[in-house]
Structure 1
Amino acid sequence: MSEERVVSVGVIGTSWWADAMYLPALQNHPLARVTAVCGRNADRAHQFARQWGIPHVFTDYEALIESGLCDAVIIATRNDTHYPIGMKALKAGLHVLCEKPLALTYAQAAEMAATADAMGAITMVPFTYRYMPTARYIKALLEEGYIGQPYHLNMRYYTGFGRTTDYLWRFDQDVAGSGALGDIASHFIYLADWYFGAIESVGALLGYMVRRPERDPAGRPYQVADDTAILTFVFANGAHGVIHATTVAYEDTPFGQTHHMEFHGSEGTLYHFIDWDTIQRVSGARQGEGPVRELSVPDQFWGRVRRDTVHHTYKDVFRQEGFMTQAFITAVSNQQPLHPNFHDGARIQRVIAAAQLSHQEKRRVMLSEI
């Protein structure tokens, strides 16, 4: 292994997510060297650096980017910082992995994608559920024609972190850009696009069910973003789709989150259910083959990951199987583009923008309008 292929990485953001998902994956990759970390809270940033053995600590992301210590950066910060940090890093010639949603607006996201192209940057937006064994198996079944011509999909993302009446930045429109729509529905919008192809039009109903504080902790009045999103789609192939994403559902499971998916077509139906604690199941039925039955996910999709709780599978996929963060490092090292990249992130941001316009104007919106 040559020294030239090692990738020096700066991590911007010291949240629990960076701690749980990014650093373990980076440390398990032979070509990754974490050289710097940046966090707004100096004490937290230094503690984070000590925990993971990171030699350089910054509290200013611009200083980290200009330091010359990094070939690539991972942006794991609040939504409103993605665009300025990402553009600064790209213009400095760095490769960039940026959390979703890629930006606050489609215009920002499109500019980030165009800048990445101009700079020759390798980019990634980590839509994590794409990498799960069950998701990749469903993708393979759809491509094999299990359901035949796609007719429609139904996807439901139910979680309860928005049931609290406390201020959460995820429901601050200026900070987050959207609420449940960009935070959790974006995952399923990406999957819908990945499974069924390009989305041509969107209808949306957005709202918030929980009354939240009128001011943030600093006393600033703010616009409350949606905690629930209901979306309808027409795909380029003529299929229809529905996504219901809510952060205020009471789910009687230890983790309080469930995913439900149904895919219908001319030849059959596929079902997918995850409860995050015990069940990750794919089932289906094809015309002329009897009733719905569970479909065993083949070993090739599992690899070395644990097959018990979804929590374990989720962590193992990114720490052991070379997906997401590790795939980004490999791509940077080999100078090979990968997906989902900033163009994919911008495409999903366009759907989010269309959904927001649909809700505001109470009409279906064509993606070509955005």
Structure 2
Amino acid sequence: MIRVGVVGASGWADASHLPALTSLPAYEVTAVATTKQASADRVAAAYGVRHAFADAAELAAHPDVDLIVVSVRVTGHAAVIRAALDAGKHVVSEWPLAVDEGEARELAEAATASGVHHAVVLQGRHSPSARFVADLLAAGRIGTLQSAVLVAAGDPFGGDSIPAELAWSLDPASGNSILTIMAGHFLATLERVAGRFTEVSARLPRVHERVRIGDTDRTEANATPDQVLVHGLLEGGATASVTIHGGNGRTPDGFLLKLAGSTGTLTATPVDQGPFIHWSDWEIRVDGELLTVPDSYGTVPIGIPAGPPANIAALYQEVAAAITEGRRPDPDFEAALRHHRLLTAIERAAASRTPQQIP
């Protein structure tokens, strides 16, 4: 049994990590932490957790915790991760790992040196739909992949308004934007299916200089992109074209993935309108024929809610297996660093208007 402490338990983790962890037999949530003791106590009571803290370092040092989940704002990741590593605890961090590539490199090096197991929540890599499509491509179902096209909604980032609770994201130093969050997750899922980018060209248009906050008349300056446009080359020589468009909706309008091969074409769209590509089940067609994802790809126990908890639960199953087998989880902090390098290359390509190689 892996005993888990969740830092940032009253926010995103309450809708994703905690439902996943409390449904997996390999884990026991023994501690939670938030910035306020009252909210930590509420979450602990809701999930029957023994320990509640208002101090992440105190949670990290507690002997009843083996693994620490980092689900706070990106700017707070490094401090919690370092506290976990100093305490010799395994650590699972939400994506993005860090505010930029430099900080990601420092954290990856520290985690590797510590000898603990570490993983990052790029849950689209564990999507049953994505894994099935990757296997179809590997088996030659559409021949040799020649091009990949992804069009996806980046709501609630990139519109002329933003929810008040995300207003802090308008500063690039926050590490939380349509590029880092939405493109980060979407591109990781695309790479799981079609292979890694080796070269990118990009544009990062900023349409809205000021953005309205929530349902108010107040506006704030915006210094982050509103759209992400990427063209590139993939391993194996296929081309890729990605458009992530911003919007104001709390429920996005989904995505379209089109993979053209030498002998056929595969398309994927969300089964239900709204979910992002790394959350949702996909409707998959090859040359118009509807395919069903085999049950063998759905390894998450029955009872875990669809949406974010499902693929995050699959990630936690991978982490538990890696700990048992004494190997690195996929994706770990080194994989996260490589993904940060991809986003850095996109920024450089947009700024220089020249293609960039991916280190």
Match of 2:255 among 256, 259, 265: 259
Asked whether the equivalents of residues 271 and 283 of structure 2 are also in contact (C-alpha less than 8 Å), the reply is no
Higher share of residues assigned strand: 2
Q: Percent identity over the alignment?
A: 25
| Counterpart residue identity of residue 107, structure 1 | G
Q: How far, CA to CA, are the matches of 1:90 and 1:160 in structure 2?
A: 34
TM-score, scaled to structure 2 = 0.86
Residues 124, 311 of structure 2: 8 Å contact kept: no
Q: 1:44 aligns with which of 39, 63, 66?
A: 39
Aligned letter for 1:326?
Answer: Q
Deviation for aligned residue 1:269: 1.4
1:323 Cα offset (Å):
0.8
AA in 1 matched with 2:282: Q
| SS in structure 1 of the partner of residue 207 of structure 2 | coil
**3-state SS of paired residue (1:356):** helix
Q: Distance in 2 between matches of 1:153 and 1:109?
A: 28
Match of 1:359, as an amino acid?
A
Preserved contact between residue 57 and residue 83 of structure 2 (Cα < 8 Å) = yes
Q: Deviations over 1:272-325 (max 9, x none)?
A: 00163498310012xxxxxx322232232245778xxxx954357348xx5112
Of the candidates 284, 287, 295, which is equivalent to residue 286 of structure 2?
Answer: 284
From 323, 330, 340, the counterpart of 1:332: 323
**Of 332-341 and 177-186, the range deviating more from structure 2:** 332-341
> What CA distance in whole angstroms lies between the structure 2 residues aligned with 1:198 and 1:186?
13
The 8 Å contact of residues 209 and 222 in structure 2, kept in 1 or not, is answered as no
Deviates more, 1:188-197 or 1:275-284: 275-284
What is the CA–CA distance in structure 2 between the aligned matches of 1:180 and 1:282, rounded to whole Å?
A: 26
**For the residues of structure 2 that align with 1:28 and 1:249, how far apart are their CA atoms?**
33
**1:174-214 CA distance string (max 9 Å, x none):** 21x25111111111211232223232211111133345359
Q: Pick from 296, 303, 310 the counterpart of residue 317 of structure 1.
A: 310
Q: Output one character per residue of 1:37-81: Cα deviation in whole Å (capped at 9) or x when no partner.
A: 111133212111111122222222222222333211001111111
Is the 1:165–1:213 contact (alpha carbons within 8 Å) kept by the matching residues of 2?
yes
Question: Where do 5+ consecutive residues of structure 1 fail to align?
Answer: 1-5, 286-291
Aligned to 1:149: 144
**CA 1:98–1:222: 2 relative to 1, 3 Å:** farther
Give, in whole Å, the separation in 2 of the partners of 1:101 and 1:341.
12
State the number of aligned residues: 345
User: Where do 1:18-29 residues align within 5 Å?
Assistant: 18-29=13-24
Measured after TM superposition, the shift of residue 17 of structure 1 is 2.2
CA-based RMSD of the aligned residues comes to 2.9
Q: Work out which of the residue numbers 165, 180, 183 in structure 1 matches 2:181.
A: 183
Query: What CA distance in whole angstroms lies between the structure 2 residues aligned with 1:316 and 1:47?
Result: 20
Change (3 A) 1:155 1:305: farther
Name the residue aligned to 1:169. 168
Aligned to 2:344: 353
Structure 2 counterpart SS, 1:134: helix
TM-score by structure 1 length? 0.83
Q: Residue by residue, what CA displacement relative to the aligned partner does 1:124-179 show, whole Å, maximum 9, x if unpaired?
A: 1122223333212101101111122221111122143233255523332121x251
